[in-house]
Amino acid sequence: MGVFNRFYFLGKPLALCGTAGFLWAQLNNDNDIDKEKLKLTINQADLICQGFKEKQGIPGVSIGVTMHGSFVWRKGYGLADIEQRVPCTPDTVMRIASISKTFTATLAAQFVEKGKLNWNDKIDKYHPDLPKFLFENVPVSITVRQLASHTSGIRHYWKKGDPETDAEFNLPEYYIARPFPTVTESLSLFVNDELLHKPGTTWLYTTHGYTLLSAILERISDDKHSYAELLNDLITKQLDLRNTKLEYPDEIVPNRSRYYWRRSLKEGLRNVAYVDLSYKWAGGGILSNVTDLLLYANNLLQCRQTKLVSSDSNKQLLKSETIRELWSPIVATNRNNTSYGLGWMIAKEQPSSINQCSIPSHIYHTGGAVGATSIILIIPCSNNCSNPRCGICISILTNLQSAREIYQTALDIALLFRHVSSCSNDSKL
């Protein structure tokens, strides 16, 4: 790993190789990048990623970065399959876990644009067959916006009266192994359970809430398409995402990773238990790789920054005003300086202890699944330039359950590339 200097943002250490200190100092006073500076940045990002893998004991890591719409770095580390000694590459397909929620929010936003869905409508307007939700034995109503922003009160993996826990992977619902042939059947897991809080009053993360949102999308779609068909027709086909799909355990998936866990760093790796994610496809059941995720992220970034009125051209998934609404804070989360919008986390700009530097506003989503940890992070242009592709996108996928510090690792690397060129007007890419 070599000798590291430490730079501090908000008092938190960012580990960088000694040569990166020179790089940062130079780039703060020099906006005209060249390939040599980009190469230096990739070297420093490589060291950070290696350190992340080694510190967490992760079998395989896949990472990709884009600057202003162009791929500048993709790399795999370690093994996708330990027993067969299969290398992990940028093409390795893994569980993306809760990043799936961003896809479901995008689908919902497309229906909003078509006039078939309204964020502020009560959900029983679209799904009248649902049982009435109760809070403290009193019937209450839930809106579509509350479902998408985790303020509905619908439970996560524990029921009312059960102790809340940060050790989610000890909860039995993570390890459901039976298939649910339809989204409607998966609703039976939670729709009759009492809400954990009154809708609209508290942020409480819930994967089941996104299962319900997907059931609504199926109801309002033309010809009552399944969630799998909606994902394929409205996103993956549109963007030619060839490795993004729902996980079916028995399907042959080229380049699919194996998944691992360990009780502690002192213990050896183990294969994870068999699970079937059909009960939560919309909230945590999608497979992808970093290449597809970056194509998706850049499309959304371009949607936000484009001046086009319609989303029908250039394969744009959404209108600018729509993605801006998705990326607008609705409720504070349990993470400092972070709010939740509609399917996305939003971190506002933060000052730093270095006068000329700050942590820019960014949008992201992390994911944790049985045997996998993931993140997608986007830093839009802060200069209001004319290039709708301007910005930094990064995705990291791992095949280890509960890999810590993935958010900080992604942010640190994204900031490195942003300091090479924070705006495409400054770039020769």
Q: For residue 123, what are the contacts with CB-CB under 8 A and spacing of at least 6?
A: 130, 141, 142, 143, 144, 147, 212, 216
Confidence of residue 176 (pLDDT cuts 50, 70, 90): very high
Rounded distance, CA 242 to CA 232, Å? Answer: 10
Rounded distance, CA 356 to CA 383, Å? Answer: 16
What are 123's two structure tokens? 């959900």
What are 43's two structure tokens? 């070297």
Average pLDDT over all residues of the chain: 89
Confidence of residue 428 (pLDDT cuts 50, 70, 90): low
38: helix, strand or coil: helix
For the entire predicted model, the pTM comes to: 0.90
Boundaries of every domain in the chain: 33-99+243-420, 104-229
Confidence of residue 61 (pLDDT cuts 50, 70, 90): very high
Asked if the model's pLDDT at residue 30 lies above 60, the reply is no
Per DSSP, 81 falls in state: E
Tell me if domain 33-99+243-420 and domain 104-229 are identical in fold.
Answer: yes
Fold of 33-99+243-420: Beta-lactamase (3.40.710)
Superfamily of domain 104-229: DD-peptidase/beta-lactamase superfamily (3.40.710.10)
The share of the chain scoring above pLDDT 70, in percent, equals 88
Task: Give the type of residue at 393.
Answer: C
Question: Counting every residue, how long is the chain?
Answer: 429
- H helices then E strands: how many in the chain? 12, 20
Catalytic residue set = 98
Higher pLDDT, 326 or 387: 326
Rounded distance, CA 216 to CA 123, Å? Answer: 8
For residue range 219-261, what is the model confidence (pLDDT) as tens digits?
999 888 999 999 999 999 999 999 999 999 999 999 999 999 9
Rounded distance, CA 306 to CA 70, Å? Answer: 17
Q: For residue 55, what are the contacts with CB-CB under 8 A and spacing of at least 6?
A: 405
For residue range 266-298, what is the model confidence (pLDDT) as tens digits?
889 999 999 999 999 999 999 999 999 999 999
Asked if the model's pLDDT at residue 389 lies above 60, the reply is yes
Q: What angle do CA 111, 112, 115 make, to 5 degrees?
A: 90
Confidence of residue 9 (pLDDT cuts 50, 70, 90): very low
Q: For residue 313, what are the contacts with CB-CB under 8 A and spacing of at least 6?
A: none
